[in-house]
Amino acid sequence: MKRTGIFFVEVLTLSLLAATAGWAQNPAAETLQQNVPLSQQAPPPTPTTTSDQDLGELSVVQKFPKPEMFSFWTTQQFFYTDNVFYTDANPVSSTAYLGSYTASFVPYSLRDWTPRVSLQYNMVRYGDASSGDFDNENLALSSQYIFSEDRNWSWTATVDLSRFTAPHANDHEFYKEVVYDNQITRVAQLIQGTPLFFIGAYDLAYHQTSPAIFDRLDNTLSFSLAYYPMKEISIGPFIRAGARTYFTDGVVNGITQHDRDDFNLAEGLDVTWMPCKYVSLSADFSHVNDYSDNTSLSYNNTVPGVSVTGTVKF
């Protein structure tokens, strides 16, 4: 069960929790927020054991595996969306490709604390809406602290610097943001001896953006399950609910934004097969509804997709 628990968290973080300034935040940053994790969260370590000829098997007190210093992974995703620009006014549907490449470095770690530096490059291309294509670069500095004896509770603080460019306009930069994020996460096996797991998280994130009209504070709750009919296969439904408060008045797509608050609700299902520890294949489906008090800015989006992820750690 311990190996299954670690496998669950690794798959979940890989599978789980988008060219003009007028549509910058919705189709660009929103697409990445929903589809691409910036860094792999380390699973709660499990203690190793040793054997003694006379005493038998002994648990090694306070001995846990160290996180790998270097990690590299890439995810290649092919998906369909029925709302490229996240608007309910004349929505555009398209097939799409998302290529993500990430490297992370752990300079130092303690039993309960792991700092991490991550670099990520993303590219999104739409088959029927090339004006929505974008490239993205991220730099993230994060700190994860395990604060429970069972090591199932963790706090991760992250500062993420991100920029978006339009590949068909000489790499014109149309959007930037700095995200200050704090997340509390709980991982638990629901029934002892049964390969069914639960993960819940509360996330508080402030987005400082350019254009400043997209400055906002997010409060998000997410809940997921993962069931393993076989140790290589996981089936996981999820739901994510978020309240978003925008701080800057202005005009978005010709619509005046004033004291704007949104409620964002996403639900979906992910099925992942990991034939070996270096590769995973996933099929997923998600639906998002965003309810804004400015109803002209509300939208919904449905996204089925398939992806392959390759990982190297040392």
Kindly report, residue by residue over 209-258, the tens digit of the pLDDT.
998 999 999 999 999 999 999 989 999 999 999 999 999 888 877 778 88
Q: How far apart are CA 155 and CA 143, in angstroms?
A: 8
Residue 257: beta bridge partners? Answer: 250
Could you identify the residue written with the tokens 């994510």?
240
Kindly tell me the burial class for residue 57, based on how many C-beta atoms sit within 10 Å of its own C-beta (0-12, 13-18, 19 or more): exposed
Q: Are 262 and 290 in contact (CB under 8 A)?
A: yes
Q: How far apart are CA 257 and CA 244, in angstroms?
A: 13
Classify 82 as helix, strand or coil: coil
For residue 162, the Cα-to-chain-centroid distance in whole angstroms is: 14
pLDDT of residue 43: 41
User: Looking at per-residue confidence, does 285 or 258 come out higher?
Assistant: 285
Q: Is the pLDDT of residue 280 over 50?
A: yes
For residue 106, the Cα-to-chain-centroid distance in whole angstroms is: 19
- As given in the structure block, the two tokens for residue 233 are 């296969």
How many domains does one find in the chain?
A: 1
Q: Is the pLDDT of residue 55 over 90?
A: no
Report the DSSP pairing between strands 172-189 and 70-81. Answer: unpaired
Classify 23 as helix, strand or coil: helix
Q: How far apart are CA 212 and CA 24, in angstroms?
A: 11
Q: Is the pLDDT of residue 85 over 50?
A: yes
pLDDT of residue 244: 96
14: phi then psi, degrees, rounded to nearest 5:
-75, -35
Q: List C-alpha distances in Å: 205 to 33, 58, 138, 240, 242.
A: 12, 43, 16, 14, 11
∠ Cα 86 208 153 (to 5°): 90
Q: Are 117 and 101 in contact (CB under 8 A)?
A: no
Q: What CATH number is associated with residue 153?
A: 2.40.160.40
Kindly report, residue by residue over 137-181, the tens digit of the pLDDT.
999 999 999 998 888 999 999 999 999 999 998 889 999 999 999
Domain around 85: 2-313
Cα dihedral 275, 278, 279, 284 sign: positive
pLDDT of residue 251: 83
What is the chain's mean pLDDT, rounded? 85
Kindly report, residue by residue over 23-54, the tens digit of the pLDDT.
434 579 889 888 887 655 444 444 444 444 55
| Of the candidate ranges 3-7, 91-95, 125-129, the one whose mean pLDDT is the lowest | 3-7
pLDDT of residue 263: 97
User: Looking at per-residue confidence, does 284 or 256 come out higher?
Assistant: 284
- As given in the structure block, the two tokens for residue 313 are 């750690």
The radius of gyration computed from the CA coordinates of the chain, to the nearest angstrom, equals 20
- As given in the structure block, the two tokens for residue 212 are 């400043």
Q: How far apart are CA 229 and CA 231, in angstroms?
A: 7
Q: Is the pLDDT of residue 313 over 60?
A: yes
Residue 115: beta bridge partners? Answer: 143
Q: How far apart are CA 62 and CA 42, in angstroms?
A: 17
pLDDT of residue 170: 87
Q: How far apart are CA 174 and CA 25, in angstroms?
A: 10
Classify 267 as helix, strand or coil: strand
Q: Is the pLDDT of residue 8 over 70?
A: no
| Of the candidate ranges 3-12, 30-39, 158-167, 289-298, the one whose mean pLDDT is the lowest | 3-12
Residues 6+ apart with CB under 8 A from 231: 3, 4, 7, 195
Mean pLDDT of the 178-197 span: 93
For residue 32, the Cα-to-chain-centroid distance in whole angstroms is: 8
Q: How far apart are CA 20 and CA 271, in angstroms?
A: 35
| Of the candidate ranges 38-42, 82-86, 90-94, 165-169, the one whose mean pLDDT is the lowest | 38-42
Q: Is the pLDDT of residue 19 over 70?
A: no
